[in-house]
Amino acid sequence: MDKYELSPWQIEYMKHFDDDLYIACTGIGAGKTRVLAIWLIMQCIQKPGIRGIVIAQTYQALMNVLFRELEIVCAQFNITYKFNRSEKRFAFPNGSVLMGYSSENPTGILGLSEIALLAIDEAAYCSEEIYNYAKDRMRGSKYESKVRLISSPNSLGVISNWFSALCKKNPEKIIKASSLDNWFSRKSYKEELKERYVEGSNLYRQQVLGEILDMDAASQIVFRDDFILQKRMNAGNHYFGYDASGIGADNDVFITIDDYGVIDLFKACDLKDTFQRTNIIDEKYRKFGIKAGYADGTGGYSNGIIDVCKKMNIAIEGLNFASKAEDDKMYPNVRTEMYMELANEIKHGFWVPEEIQIEILAQQMTVNGKGQVQLVPKDLVKKTLGHSPDMTDALALAVYAKNHYGEISKESEIAKAKDVADRYMKYFQMFN
């Protein structure tokens, strides 16, 4: 298979073709699944009748990632195979077969025997239970057993992880590679990784550089050194974020920003009703010539305020923090997405007052079981600060409004059109 161009770390990986155990601990997108597919196919071709187990975190990942890579490699080298999707079996004319399983169903492999190959994709996110079950099936084969584990690390935000522990126990059996080591990745993609995972953070070290971190904690989304000292304001368009106080909350917070930073911070703990709140929003809206803004619509506390503001022709929309993120492959919810957009703005010089900086520094991120970046629960942030991060929520909403202004404008125009239609309908009904 020398006609397939491999990166240096993939070449080194293939040099360990016959090792009993070999682990690739890499950043995301480093090419680990492709080289695993090549290794599996070569084992199957060279050893007639060999039986192997291939495992992914979910059946979707198994079918769309791991088996897809097997198909790509076979097609490239004109290798004959049969793929039974319903049975999740990948078979070759010489009797060799690869059987697919999901970490979600560890007991599904208990009846297997005569297994010589075990390969787990994104092993750090699969259960230790299925790894142990699969290892126990590796007996009775005429071929020597071989285990291949590939994964980005998962040592942030967890108490323990069997994959990280195995790597530390077998340092001579590991090859490491970063996402930046993939020769075939676009330069723009590598720059995107630096922004998404916040270059220099623990999360960046784990997910991009492929480092196994000796810690059981999440990583800050920004660091003290990320904040600039010079205040820049009143440049470009203006946007706002509004966090309404709910039950047990301290403050209503209204923050106005421009393209370069915060230009106005208003907070109050004594606002009594919707009338007071909407008057303040209207005053700020007109004073700064604001384009649009988002309000926290998670708990429903701002719904009445939003409705009144729309009747006052204020471009405002509610945003449920638990709703689906635009980049739902990267983030599990819009709360995480808007906070990571805020972190990116700060990394590029967006100015934030020091009293808000304290709240931002308390925000941490980790990686969930789907490999998505996720903020730690808000309740944990409250415990760290001693109060709710109302200012940071409002600021993140304002930044999200700046970056998604077109969506708010469209929604507002639809709302205006509906309001006009409703009024005409009521007028028509009066005379019929």
Distance CA 152, CA 41 (A): 22
**Which regions of 122-251 does DSSP assign to beta strands (E)?**
146-151, 174-177, 219-220, 239-243
Which helix (H) or strand (E) segment is 337 a member of? Answer: helix 334-347
Map residue 359 onto helix, strand or coil.
helix
Alpha helix positions (H), 185-297: 187-196, 202-207, 274-287
Distance CA 105, CA 125 (A): 14
Q: Output the tens digit of pLDDT for each of the chain's 432 residues.
A: 444 578 899 999 999 999 999 999 998 888 999 999 999 999 999 999 999 999 998 898 899 999 999 999 999 999 999 999 999 999 999 999 999 999 888 888 988 989 999 999 999 888 889 999 999 999 889 999 999 999 988 765 543 478 888 988 999 999 999 988 876 677 777 788 887 777 777 778 888 888 877 654 557 788 787 887 656 666 778 999 999 876 555 688 999 999 889 999 998 877 768 888 899 899 999 999 999 999 998 877 788 899 999 999 999 999 999 999 998 888 999 999 999 999 989 988 899 998 999 899 888 887 776 778 888 888 878 877 888 899 999 999 999 999 987 665 555 444 444 554 454 455 445 444
Contact 101, 54 (CB under 8 A): yes
Q: In this predicted structure, what is the pLDDT of residue 134?
A: 94
Q: In this predicted structure, what is the pLDDT of residue 214?
A: 61
Q: In this predicted structure, what is the pLDDT of residue 159?
A: 39
Tokens 């999360």 belong to residue: 203
400-403 long-range contacts, CB within 8 A, separation 24+ = 400/241, 400/294, 400/319, 400/334, 400/337, 400/338, 400/341, 400/342, 401/239, 401/240, 401/241, 401/291, 401/292, 401/293, 401/294, 402/237, 402/239, 402/257, 402/259, 403/341
Q: Which domains does the chain have, with CATH numbers?
A: 8-217 (3.40.50.300), 220-415 (3.30.420.240)
Distance CA 417, CA 412 (A): 9
Contact 134, 99 (CB under 8 A): no
Which helix (H) or strand (E) segment is 10 a member of? Answer: helix 8-14
- What is the pTM for the complete model shown? 0.63
Q: In this predicted structure, what is the pLDDT of residue 252?
A: 87
Residue length, the chain?
A: 432
Q: In this predicted structure, what is the pLDDT of residue 366?
A: 78
Residue 268 pairs with which residues in a beta bridge? 252
CA proximity to 298, closest of 320, 324, 270: 320
